[in-house]
Amino acid sequence: MNKPKLVILSGAGISAESGLKTFRDGDGLWEDHRVEDVATPEAFARDPQLVLNFYNFRRKACATAQPNAGHIGLAALEKDFEVTIITQNIDDLHERAGSTNVHHLHGEIFKMRSVGDEDTIYDIRTEIQLGDLAPDGHQLRPHIVWFGEPVPKIYEVMPIVQQADIFVVIGTSLLVYPAAGLVDLVPYGKPVFVLDKKLPPMKFSPYLQAIEKPASEGIQDLHKALAKFI
């Protein structure tokens, strides 16, 4: 018997509970930086050292962070569902929690690429410094989708959402596009669950169920709600 296709869109809220800061809360700063100064192509062109330092710091933070109950609870769903996680997060906490099918829309902090070649990706666990060159002779940069850059992975995950039996939104404000638009691709009549400590704006639907709790607390509620589909 085929398992139901469960597609999950996760965002910064789930990683925030592991101590990784997000700019969506508070004053709009990210580790005391304006997003425009550290997470855009223009910022990298203007001050590449600042941007590299920023992501070097974040890489260290991600390396020491641990998966929380939210991550672990999502991984456990693979027992009864065919789970695909589409995440806006650049950390590897879903994978370390045990999830085996994760798509990173906005890149990965533990990967890097040449500024002259978007397609050749290298692993990185330490720091990227100004002057560190790829084999093609160009400067290396974090493999991150910065604001203002295309999100090529979105085209890979759209068909996955369109085939979902159940769709879950967890830990995201649904304010960042194109990721937020994935909700509109869920087939009509399929159940949608939204789990967040502060529920994002959603169109009313009789197939929508909201759980207004942090991911680590609400994951058990989600498991109970999903039990009827097993």
Q: Active-site positions?
A: 106
Cβ atoms of 213 and 221 closer than 8 Å = yes
Cβ atoms of 88 and 106 closer than 8 Å = yes
For the CA atoms of 90, 93, 99, 100, the dihedral, rounded to the nearest 10 degrees, stands at 50
What is the C-alpha separation between 145 and 219, in angstroms, rounded?
A: 28
What is the C-alpha separation between 155 and 195, in angstroms, rounded?
A: 25
In order, the DSSP letters of 180-221 are: GGGGGGSPTT--EEEE-SSPPP----TTEEEE-S-HHHHHHH
DSSP 13: H
Q: Are strands 166-170 and 192-195 parallel, antiparallel or unpaired?
A: parallel
Element holding 59 (H helix, E strand): helix 48-64
CA distances from 50 to 6, 13, 23, 138, 157 (A): 40, 25, 18, 18, 32
What is the C-alpha separation between 130 and 97, in angstroms, rounded?
A: 33
